[in-house]
Every structure is written in C-alpha cells, then in structure tokens.
Chain A
Amino acid sequence: MSVAENRVATDKPSFFGYLVEFDNVDSLIHAAEKVRDAGYTNWDAHTPFPVHGMDRAMGIRYTKLPLVILGGGLTGLGGALLMQWWMNAVNYPYIISGKPFWSIPANIPVMFELTVLFSALTTVFGMLAFNKLPQWRHGVFSSARFARATDDRFFISVEATDPKFDAKKTADFLAGLGGSEVEALED
C-alpha cells in the first residue's frame, strides 16, 4: 500500500506514519541513533524537554538561525543610525547647547536598543518560522498517548513521506528498537 493510494481514498483519514514510545532518555537516544543509521530522513523525536545528546543521535545540523538574527540586528543598528541622522541632522536640525547637529555618541543608546529589539524579534519569529510553527494540525496528535510527550514520555515518529518508508519493513524495524508497540498515525 503506497502513500499515494492511501491519500486517494478520500473521506477516510489518510495514513501519516508510525509512532513508538519510550519511557526513558537512554532508550530514546539509542533508538534515535539506530533510526539515523538506517538512513531515515523524515522522522522526529518528541520529548517533554530538550534532551542533551539528541542532536548528535539524530544527526541534526546546527541551525542557521544565528545568521538570520545577525541580519536582523544589523538592520536595527543601521535603521537606528539612519533614522537619527535624518530626523535630527537633515530634516529638522536642532540647535541645542552649541552641540553638533550630527554626533555619533549621542546616538549610541538608541542604536543599541534597536539592535537588541530587532535581533530579539528576529530570534523569536525566525525560530517559529524555521520550525514551521504555528501548526495546530499534525499527524502525531492523532495518537491518544501522544499527550504524554509533553509530560513524561519520549516518542519517535517516522513519516510515511520518507523515501525509505515501507509500511511493513519500517514497522518491524521500529518494533525492534526497544520501545512500546508501534502505533499507526492518521493525518
């Protein structure tokens, strides 16, 4: 049964993938290493808190988020500089205590604050965008026991869209990882 066929069967919920549950961090990490080594790409681990060592166990590459944030911060810095220069030195020059119309030191506090503001906004919205959140509908939520992924259980899900996915072989493979029995997810 291929995924495409399943999707065509209209009004029935379509098949999303498999879910397997673990009750502690060590079994999860060992299982994740095996899934990684088996060559799956479209899979995930679900944990109630960030588990250290999972990045390597899952083969996750370091995110590009910091670069995007640098861009955001530089935008804030440059924007603040331009704004103050244009407003106070070009468009409406102030004559105050014989000071120069344009002097960087007086502009540093606002430059600093806007750098931080833009960086922080980029950090949060960039993180959400990279994570494709908000996404209120997802296949893993079709499992009743998945509610414990935010409590005290650890899960691995493999999606049917993975190129290596095979309904039978993947189920057998996941069953051998030392977790609970394998559950089929609907989308």
Chain B
Amino acid sequence: MSENRDVQLELGRTPLVIGGRDFHAVTEMVSSVVERRKWPIGWYIAFTISAGGLGLLGAMIGWLFYKGVGVWGVNNPVGWGYAIINFVFWVGIGHAGTLISAILYLFRQRWRTSINRFAEAMTIFAVICALVFPGIHVGRPWLAWWLFPLPYPQNMWPNFRSPLLWDVFAVGTYFTVSLLFWYVGLIPDIATIRDRATTKIRRVLYGFFALGWRGSHRHWHRYEVAYMILAALATPLVLSVHSVVSFDFATSQLPGWHTTIFPPYFVAGAIFSGFAMVLTLMIPCRTIFGMQDLVTMRHLENMCRILLATGMMVGYAYSIEFFIAWYGGNPYERFAFINRAFGPYAWGYWTMVSCNVLSPQIFWFRWARRNIGVMFVISIFVNIGMWFERFVIVVSSLSRDFLPAAWAYYRPTWVDIATFVGSFGLFMTLFLLFIRFLPMMAMAEIKGVMPEAHPHHGPDPAERRGTDLGGPTLQPAGALGRGREQ
C-alpha cells in the first residue's frame, strides 16, 4: 500500500489539483483550450510577433549563407562567438524539461504532473533552436552532413576523439529521446481530444496521432513500464548532454576553459536556466487560460525553490573556479579569472553574478515565492544571467589568452544580435502552435494523482453510485483520505 501512503503524504500538503475538480473538469479545462473556435486576440498578436522573429532568423541565415561568416563579429582570437553562446544557452534551457519529466518522475514528485507536458515541449523547441547554430555556424550548410559518420568523398571518417563529435551524438540523441518521451506522454491525451472532436478534420487528424488508443489497461500496463524506462534513460542522458557540451570547453588548453568543474557546473546551470524559462512561459499561460487550479501556487513555489537551490549551485561553481585559479598556482589561469571579473568584460561578469546568484536570493522569503510578479521578474533576470554566463565563459577566455600580442576585443555585429533575437521567434512560434493545437497539460497523469483515482479512497462506491454521475466532485479533494487510511 505504499501507493496509498504516497497519496496520503500528498494530501497532507496542499492538494495538487484544487478548486474541487473532478476527472471531467480536468478534461474540460485542458481540452477546451485546444477546442476554442475563437482564440484570444493576444494569441494572434503574439503569433504575429513570433512569426516576424522567425522571418528575421530566416533572413539572417540567408544573409550569412550569401555573404559568409564575415557578417558575424567573430575575429581572431575570438573564433567562437554568438553561435556557440546561443547553442549552449538553448540546449541548457531544454534541460529543465527533462528534469521535470524524467528525474522528478523517478523521484515520485507528483507535483510535476501539471507542468511536465509544458516543460517537455519547451525542451524540444529549445533543442531545435540550439541545433540551428551548429548547423549554420560555418556558413556552409551544404557541408553539414560532415557532422555525421557518413563516408566522405575523401574517404575520411569523423574523428571520434573530438568532443565536438560527441556533441553531435549527445544532442542528436537528446532531441530524439525528448521527442519520443513527449509523444508517448501525448498519446492518451490526443485520444481524449479525438473523442471530443466535433468536426471531421479534427477527428481524423487527432485520431491519426492517437494511434487508435482505447485506454486499454493491457496497454496501460506496458505504457507505464515503457514510460518509466524512458524516464530512467532520459535521466543519465540529460546529465550527459550538458557534460558533453562542457567537454567542448574543458578538453581545450585555454585558461578559463580547462577546468574539471565544468560538467557538473554546466548541468546545474542548465537546470537553473531551464526552470527560469519554464516559469517565464508558465506564468502568463496559466493566467491567460485560467489554469490556476491545475498549476497551483504550490507548483510555482516549488519551482522557485529549485531556482534558489540551483542558483546557489552555480554561485558555488563561480567561486570554486576562482579558488582553483588561485590554489592551482597556474599564472595563466589566475590571470584569466582576474581578467574575467575586472577586465574588459567585467560588465558581463557582474551582470551574470547579479542575475544568477544575487537575484534568486529573494526566494528565501515566502512572500516572494508566492508573488507572481516577483517570480516573473526574477525568471527573466535568470534567463538574462544565464545567457551572460555563456558569453563570459566563451568571450572573456578567448579574447585574452596566453600572448598579449594576440589579444582582441570581441563585438557582436547587428547580424549576430538579429540572429539571436530571431531564434526566440522560432522558439515562440513553435510554442504558440503547441498551446494552440495540443493539450498543454498531461490530463491522464493529472487524473492519476487525484484522490479519486486511487482505489479505497473517498466515499464508498455504494454511496457514490447514488450521486449524480456528471455532477461536481464529491468532496473537496483535500478533505479526503487523511483519516480513512486502512
């Protein structure tokens, strides 16, 4: 009966679904968003702006391919500029999605259920944005297939000892597994939308992607096993992805990059930035679509706590880097870090520290964790701070390495900046299409954590049969279970 004990523990706190909702109300609440005939004007405005951003990205990529990488600000020695910064930024954002969907699932953190779909979608779209940059960064997209171990015309194979090739495998696997995980989670919910469809085209389209799901328990049995195994596979995968991304830096000889702390430091930062992005997206969606009963204050408060914890982890990593630079006794290393904090890119460094380490400290206060405005602002700060973290790591280390004669200051061009802005257009366009056409919360999973979903909870079945079947829920969810445990 450990299952029941879990439920009871959950009930001791604020219930995960509030407002006295029953199963049907959950279906109604989530599906009605997808089924709206008229969409709020705000969606159209947001979509127009995002599609404009996507167009900007397309134009900038076209310009890059036409003119070559000279349109970017990269120079010698800063040969890695915005492209790698944006790549690491977007991959990192994806990580919170997998953390919520896989790691919290394995730890039986049931509060994840109403935010996991959302976060997984964010993962996939963020990884798509990330994949754009390595694809375009040499300005010769017709050679992009050289990334893969395909027989080259020169009869050469890629070098498997290079972390850049590991990245191809890590990010490619990450994208595929995230997509599968997301789709598997979606199948029962797409079936719900199919069964509620009123037009033929919806029935056919959703019916196709529901794969004929009929809620069979024999299917559910294998489905649950498969879902758990996917979560167990995704957990080490997500840790490996940002570790491999950090190897791109850590295996080089450059002071400021050549540190063993990079893999865990990058993973913590990735989760930190991803959670910030989940909050940034979730807060407006929750309000616009009236989902306050499914994404409760408790969910938001938990996310704020994770921001606080991971924010301090990156803060710890920043300080350990300095400690090792001093303790390691390498003069180049020591110079790289003094230069990082007080050199020409000090503005970037202190922006990073204030946004990532100082700003989340406000979440020590309960009122801040329960104030929508505060969390929204802090989540934006963290997004900015984490972008600057990658900027600082890439640019400050490269611009001043061993020989002062080789130093140079890096400035992005307008094309760099417009490409980065355009990648947000791509991200938001995909995201807005997602909330328009797919159920943004995992209905089947939310129903599964409601007290009525567990046998021997709530009123006796005989009693319950007398009540109106379609009526409101029998009791406020929080009142159930506590005293009735056998």
A and B from one assembly? yes
Chain A interface (Cβ < 8 Å from any Cβ of B): 23-27, 29-30, 44-55, 58, 60, 62-63, 65-66, 69, 83-84, 87-88, 91-92, 94, 96, 99, 106-107, 109-110, 112-114, 116-117, 119-121, 123-124, 126-128, 130-131, 133-138, 140-141, 146-152, 155, 178
A109 and B226 contacting across the interface, CB-CB below 8 Å: no
A121 and B454 contacting across the interface, CB-CB below 8 Å: no
Contacts of A53 in B (CB 8 A): 3, 455
Measured CA separation A51–B219 after assembly (Å): 12
A-B contact count (CB 8 A): 221
The answer, yes or no, to whether B161 is at the interface (CB within 8 Å) is: yes
Contacts of B24 in A (CB 8 A): 151-152
A150 and B213 contacting across the interface, CB-CB below 8 Å: yes
Residue of B nearest to A179 (CB): B465
B222 and A121 contacting across the interface, CB-CB below 8 Å: no
The answer, yes or no, to whether B293 is at the interface (CB within 8 Å) is: no
B219 and A133 contacting across the interface, CB-CB below 8 Å: yes
B157 and A150 contacting across the interface, CB-CB below 8 Å: no
* Number of residues on chain B facing chain A (CB within 8 A): 74
Residue of A nearest to B177 (CB): A120
Measured CA separation A49–B230 after assembly (Å): 18
Measured CA separation A31–B216 after assembly (Å): 15
Given the contacts A52-B454, A134-B211, A151-B23, A110 and B166 also touching, CB distance less than 8 Å? yes
Contacts of B211 in A (CB 8 A): 128, 133-136
B453 and A49 contacting across the interface, CB-CB below 8 Å: yes
Contacts of A134 in B (CB 8 A): 211-212
A121 and B155 contacting across the interface, CB-CB below 8 Å: no
Measured CA separation A26–B486 after assembly (Å): 15
Not counting A124-B230, A127-B226, a sample of 6 additional A-B residue pairs whose C-beta atoms are within 8 angstroms of each other reads A53-B455, A60-B218, A87-B158, A110-B166, A121-B176, A148-B195
Contacts of A46 in B (CB 8 A): 214-217
Given the contacts A46-B216, A135-B212, A25 and B453 also touching, CB distance less than 8 Å? yes
B217 and A54 contacting across the interface, CB-CB below 8 Å: yes
B218 and A44 contacting across the interface, CB-CB below 8 Å: yes
Contacts of B366 in A (CB 8 A): none
A109 and B166 contacting across the interface, CB-CB below 8 Å: yes
Contacts of A133 in B (CB 8 A): 211-213, 219
Q: Kindly identify which residue among A23, A52, A114 contacts B464, using a CB–CB cutoff of 8 Å.
A: A23
Q: Is the interface of B mostly helix, strand, loop or mixed?
A: helix
The answer, yes or no, to whether B156 is at the interface (CB within 8 Å) is: yes
A-B contact pairs, 23 of them (CB 8 A): A30-B461, A44-B216, A47-B217, A48-B192, A48-B443, A49-B445, A49-B453, A50-B444, A60-B218, A60-B221, A65-B225, A87-B149, A109-B247, A112-B240, A117-B173, A120-B173, A120-B176, A120-B180, A124-B226, A150-B188, A151-B195, A151-B196, A152-B447
CB distance from B46 to the nearest CB of A (A): 30
B192 and A113 contacting across the interface, CB-CB below 8 Å: no
Contacts of A44 in B (CB 8 A): 216-218
The answer, yes or no, to whether B27 is at the interface (CB within 8 Å) is: yes
B244 and A109 contacting across the interface, CB-CB below 8 Å: yes
A24 and B461 contacting across the interface, CB-CB below 8 Å: yes
CB distance from B146 to the nearest CB of A (A): 14
B160 and A131 contacting across the interface, CB-CB below 8 Å: no
B222 and A63 contacting across the interface, CB-CB below 8 Å: yes
Residue of A nearest to B235 (CB): A116
A116 and B177 contacting across the interface, CB-CB below 8 Å: yes
Chain B interface (Cβ < 8 Å from any Cβ of A): 3, 22-24, 27, 149, 155-161, 163, 165-166, 169-170, 172-173, 176-177, 180-181, 183-184, 188, 191-192, 194-196, 207-208, 211-226, 229-230, 233-234, 236-237, 240, 244, 247, 443-445, 447-448, 452-456, 460-461, 464-465, 469
Contacts of B149 in A (CB 8 A): 83, 87
Those 8 A-B pairs whose CB atoms lie nearest each other, nearest first: A152-B23, A134-B211, A127-B226, A87-B157, A147-B195, A26-B461, A109-B166, A50-B220
B229 and A123 contacting across the interface, CB-CB below 8 Å: yes
CB distance from B316 to the nearest CB of A (A): 26
A27 and B465 contacting across the interface, CB-CB below 8 Å: yes
Contacts of B469 in A (CB 8 A): 23
CB distance from B205 to the nearest CB of A (A): 12
Measured CA separation A110–B213 after assembly (Å): 35
A96 and B159 contacting across the interface, CB-CB below 8 Å: yes
Measured CA separation A66–B229 after assembly (Å): 8
Q: Kindly identify which residue among A24, A66, A109 contacts B452, using a CB–CB cutoff of 8 Å.
A: A24
Contacts of B456 in A (CB 8 A): 26
Measured CA separation A162–B208 after assembly (Å): 29
Q: Kindly identify which residue among B23, B160, B224, B236 contacts A116, using a CB–CB cutoff of 8 Å.
A: B236
Contacts of B465 in A (CB 8 A): 23-24, 27, 178
A147 and B196 contacting across the interface, CB-CB below 8 Å: yes
Contacts of B230 in A (CB 8 A): 120, 123-124
CB distance from A66 to the nearest CB of B (A): 7
Contacts of A116 in B (CB 8 A): 173, 177, 233, 236-237, 240
CB distance from A82 to the nearest CB of B (A): 12
Measured CA separation A90–B159 after assembly (Å): 13
A131 and B223 contacting across the interface, CB-CB below 8 Å: yes
